[in-house]
């Protein structure tokens, strides 16, 4: 069965209470439940991981990528400077979709640059929790199309 990793970086464990005007009021576990329901509809599996430490995320991607067909990642603050994360994603050779709950391109200048963007198949920003579901839907279709070739 097709399996995707859904990886969340620093501070995303505080969703629901962290700046709700920017990130909404759903907790990470509530978002994971919504993504899990969509995965069931699509007939794919998802495995969730969150860490505030870049090394832990790198270790997880390295350990788990051999059993996955793609990665959905919200790198959080690592978006802007997480080069070891970027390299782990690139080395996985998996399709990557980058997700941001807020529109990073409409926020402070320092938030607008992503070190992950150039290795990702695409980026979804500004649609809150729905970005994760959209990423899953798109990744499932794209991976199935690639497998059909």
Q: Which residues are annotated as catalytic?
A: 23, 100
**98 touches 75 (CB < 8 A):** yes
The DSSP code for 115 is S
Instruction: Find all residues with CB under 8 Å of 46, minimum gap 6, and list them.
Output: 3, 4, 5, 6, 35, 36, 39, 136
Distance CA 122, CA 73 (A): 11
Distance CA 64, CA 11 (A): 22
Which tokens hold the place of 44?
Answer: 């794919």
């Amino acid at each position: 069965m097709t399996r995707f990793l859904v990886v969340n970086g620093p501070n995303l464990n505080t969703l629901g209470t962290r700046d709700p005007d920017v990130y909404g009021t759903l907790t990470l576990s509530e978002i994971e439940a919504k993504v899990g329901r969509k995965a069931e509809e699509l007939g794919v599996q998802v495995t969730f991981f969150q860490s505030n430490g870049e090394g832990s995320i790198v270790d997880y991607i390295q350990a788990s990528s051999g059993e996955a067909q793609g990665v959905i990642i919200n790198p959080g603050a690592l978006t802007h400077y997480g080069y070891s994360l970027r390299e782990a994603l690139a080395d996985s050779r998996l399709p990557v979709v980058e997700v941001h709950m807020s529109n990073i391109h409409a926020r402070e200048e320092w938030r607008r640059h992503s070190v992950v963007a150039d290795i990702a198949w695409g980026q979804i920003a500004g649609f809150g929790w729905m970005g994760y579901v959209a990423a899953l839907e798109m990744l499932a279709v794209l991976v199935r199309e690639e497998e059909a070739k």
